[in-house]
Structure 1
């Protein structure tokens, strides 16, 4: 009788260890997938930034001011003072 209890206890312990290992592996996979998604988002943002840099490199200060303020939804009246600087 005592031998059977030891066997049952050992089987339960092995089952708990297997279950705990499976849970930890699942958490590991989830963290890895999350990190991969974050990196993919960072790469997309960096590509977009580089593309924007290439476009803005040729803009005058006035045009750059207008473009950046438009993105933020701010009035462009403050950019008017930059209008004549490129010609001087």
Structure 2
């Protein structure tokens, strides 16, 4: 749903790009990026802040069990999800 999947490959806990994807574009249905499985640590939030500065975007961090719901022009956060 996000503009890009590049956040998955950023930071200390980055996912490996084993298949050498070069196009990290995504659907772009929302104007922010999404960080699932956030462990609620300040260290991860700092990493997201670095990413935000580097890519000039918004990131919503979401712990397991949380959610970001977008409906029309409305956005709601549940279960500890935050704007990083």
Normalized per residue, the structure richer in strand is: 2
| Higher RCO structure, 1 or 2 (CA under 8 Å, sep 6+) | 2
Q: Same fold (TM over 0.5)?
A: no
The structure richer in helix per residue is: 1
For normalisation by structure 1, the TM-score amounts to 0.21
TM-score (norm 2): 0.21
